[in-house]
Structure 1
Amino acid sequence: MIDNRPVPWREVFIDEVTHTITGNVQIYESFPIPQLRTERRIWIYLPRSYNESNRSFPVYYMQDGQNVFDQATSWGCEWGVDETLEQMALEDPSLEVIVVAIDHGGDDRNHEYNFTINAEYNFGGKGAAYADFLAETLKPYIDSHYRTVLKRSLRPLLEVRLVLTSRCIRLFAIRISLAVWAGFPLSCGTTVAGSSN
């Protein structure tokens, strides 16, 4: 059960730091992740027309939430997703989407974003629990609290998980921002070690 509500980003960041957030961004300060027995900050970007219509919107789930909307919270450079979506909405409102950005777990980031344990670098193994959080906790919550374009099932998310956990990941299946150098087989018998995102 989620017992907190999102608040506008200006109510969360009351410091004197310059923030680069654009548009209607709300924040859950401590969204529970029961599968990992932790909590995480979740950012919700709502499209320009969200409060002006009854329209439902597609949802994009993005990892490394600290980087998605705000230079002040990013590890390096902000990705500018909010600015890009605001401009796209002006040019073509049919492209509007909801974005759900999940902060990474700091020191646990590599553990949570990798399904297998990389013995050489001593991380990984929590990726299945993180994928379960996305499919079983976060997506159903977002679908029940926001006007989203609902799919009939979680099959697309589950297919992504199956592809990621299969012993033989095909290059044509999907492209996900994942630390490939953790030892994922890209095709049967081929492992990439040393490449980075």
Structure 2
Amino acid sequence: MYSHNVLFIGDDSVWSQLAVNYLKENNFNIIAVLWNYDTDDSQAKAIIEQWKGDWILSFKSDFILPYSVIDRAQKGAINFHPAPVKYRGIGGYHYAIENKDTYFGVTCHYIDNKIDHGKIIKTIKFDIVSGETPDSLMKRTAAYALSLFYEITAIIKNGQKIPNTNIKWSNKLYTRSQLCDYLRHHEKNKFAKGNCYVS
């Protein structure tokens, strides 16, 4: 059976480690980069810039890939974004609670040269429960993202056709600087740290 050469980019959470384990158990040939915004990115950049292969799989990651790297993924580059299409960029957990949204979700999409912009493969929606906090929503979203990751990577492994949708992204991009401003304004929020490291 053909072993897909995969560059996996994720955060350092247990969810990303479970995704890595799944790929290994299913005989993907992977190079894994686990990275967070508040850590040194020099080693991650060195690994990523040297890679070439079949697939890039980005999972809950804030790492912005240059198009020269995306272009080296011969079969495709896919991101698993832990928010619905309404919230491109970062901070969706916070804004969804602030806006009293009734549902949240995850979005699987192809990576292009803009942030959270490429053609959407599949989305999952789920209800926001009473008493939800950004922290609880982040954890629940990660579980849904991992489920979607398993589904799409199984399709890749089995040589099946990757699904697609006509769902469109929102035009608004939520940036890190906007999130920092938001968190500083809401000092009661336990995530209001100086480096604003939240997804």
Same-fold status (TM-score > 0.5): no
Larger radius of gyration: 1
* Relative contact order, higher structure (CA 8 A, sep 6+): 2
- The TM-score range, normalised by the shorter chain, is under 0.3
Which structure has greater strand proportion? Answer: 2
- Provide TM-score, normalisation by structure 2: 0.26
